[in-house]
Amino acid sequence: MVISNISTSIDGTFILSSLQFLTDLFIYLIKFLLVSLVLFFLFRLLIFLSKGSEEIIILPFAVSTSKKKYDGKIISDSLIVELRKIKEIHEHQFEEEDIDFEKIYFPKLTPDSENFETKISNLKDINIGDITISVLGILIVFKQLWPFGEQAKTIRGNLQECDSEIHLIALMEGPKVHGWDLHLKKEQSENEDMIPELIKNLAFMITHDLSKEETKYIGTTGEEGVKAKTWISLKYFTNAFDSYSHYNSTQKIEYLECARKNCIKALKEEKDYLIVFSLFYNIGISYHFLRDYYFAEDSFRRCITLMPTNPKGFIGLISPLYALGRKDEALEACEKALEIDSKYTKSVS
């Protein structure tokens, strides 16, 4: 009986000690994992602070208007969407037509979702009573003060009222500082469509200026780089390029007309914007296939005005003039093309 009690006591003690051992082991594992996670986070934070900036972080805009129609996060997200859209439009490749497009050089706005920088950019603000602490803002300031690596490139901005105008202001901080300011009359802003248009225009200003800067940085010359001298001409050409792409996909005439009108606007803004030539030429070809010879003629004549030494404008002009019964003018265009380049003999014969 005594032996049985002793055996039971030993078994109980062994079980308790085993449970205690497992508990201690579990606690040590938890502590090890927590320490490992902290060290890993600190290691990645050190890399984030020290490495060169490969992207631009766009912070939520401040909104200082009497009517709170727009949230600062909505403005910054809309700006990112417009910037990406511009780049994607100029990356479109047409299968058949030889159309020139602007070469947009633009840093990444956000990295892939698995990158550490994205997780940092998604950190939420901390609210302590009436005080809001921006964790991302603190990290960005810390990175800018960090003695190693490049400064973080950040764009912050403000939508504000100033006398009788509404201003959308953006400032990029980093190795180089850029500033942009767009404004409109307060009565115009009553139309809710005006603020999105301001955001879109801001995206073109940023794209134009940073693409020019990036082109100089990488040392591109000759045919490379952004050719537009102003953001406005870049905007009209981009709209024309996008509309023509939609026309190719849908064959809807309204897209072709929109492309033609935006090409005209681009050339009004910048009369020697030579990159428009190939797009306008293909618009003329499209109108010719539609047997709209008047718009075909107009498109080719604008090509000639833009580049009078390029025989393609005169070659394109021959068919619509002939179809309109103006054979003498068609013959004159043919002779002009041959005068510029005799290799077009077979094309016009």
**Does one domain contain both 19 and 59?**
no
pLDDT band of residue 305 (cuts 50, 70, 90) is very high
**Does one domain contain both 177 and 200?**
yes
Residue that is last in its domain, among 226, 259, 276: 226
4 within a domain of the structure (yes/no): yes
Q: What CATH number has the domain bearing residue 324?
A: 1.25.40.10
pLDDT of 116 > 60? The answer is: no
253/101 Cα distance (integer angstroms): 22
102 within a domain of the structure (yes/no): no
pLDDT of residue 102: 86
**Does one domain contain both 143 and 37?**
no
The per-residue pLDDT for range 39-82, each reduced to its tens digit, is 887 777 676 666 655 678 888 898 887 766 778 888 998 999 99
**Does one domain contain both 222 and 252?**
no
In this structure, the strands spanning 178-185 and 165-173 are antiparallel
**Does one domain contain both 59 and 9?**
no
**Does one domain contain both 148 and 171?**
yes
**Does one domain contain both 232 and 174?**
no
Q: Show the beta-strand stretches assigned E in 108-256.
A: 126-128, 131-133, 153-162, 165-173, 178-185
**Does one domain contain both 299 and 192?**
no
pLDDT of residue 224: 57
pLDDT of 312 > 80? The answer is: yes
289 within a domain of the structure (yes/no): yes
The per-residue pLDDT for range 214-241, each reduced to its tens digit, is 655 444 444 456 889 999 999 999 999 9
Residues spanned by the domain of 9: 1-50
Q: What CATH number has the domain bearing residue 116?
A: 3.40.50
**Does one domain contain both 28 and 41?**
yes
The per-residue pLDDT for range 82-112, each reduced to its tens digit, is 999 998 898 877 765 688 888 887 666 653 3
The per-residue pLDDT for range 126-157, each reduced to its tens digit, is 666 666 666 666 666 666 666 666 666 788 99
69 within a domain of the structure (yes/no): yes
**Does one domain contain both 222 and 233?**
no
In this structure, the strands spanning 153-162 and 165-173 are antiparallel
**Does one domain contain both 232 and 220?**
no
The per-residue pLDDT for range 184-197, each reduced to its tens digit, is 876 665 655 688 99
What pTM was computed for the model? 0.74
Which pairs with CB-CB distance under 8 Å and at least 24 residues apart come from 120-127?
120/48, 121/57
pLDDT of residue 326: 94
99 within a domain of the structure (yes/no): no
pLDDT of residue 103: 81
Q: Are 152 and 174 in contact (CB under 8 A)?
A: yes
71/76 Cα distance (integer angstroms): 9
117/279 Cα distance (integer angstroms): 39
Domain total of the chain:
3
The per-residue pLDDT for range 321-331, each reduced to its tens digit, is 999 999 999 99
pLDDT of residue 243: 96
**Residue environment code for 170-209, b if the CB has 16+ CB neighbours within 10 A, otherwise e:** bebbbeeebebebbbeeeebeeeeebeebbbbbbbbbbbb
39 within a domain of the structure (yes/no): yes
pLDDT of residue 222: 44
317 within a domain of the structure (yes/no): yes
**Does one domain contain both 281 and 171?**
no
- Nearest C-alpha neighbor of 184 from the set 200, 173, 207: 200
Average pLDDT over residues 262-273: 96
**Chain-wide mean pLDDT for the chain?**
80
260/279 Cα distance (integer angstroms): 9
pLDDT of 206 > 90? The answer is: yes
104 within a domain of the structure (yes/no): no
- H or E stretch covering 64: strand 62-64
Residue that is last in its domain, among 162, 197, 226: 226
Q: Are 57 and 155 in contact (CB under 8 A)?
A: yes
pLDDT of residue 4: 53
pLDDT of residue 115: 44
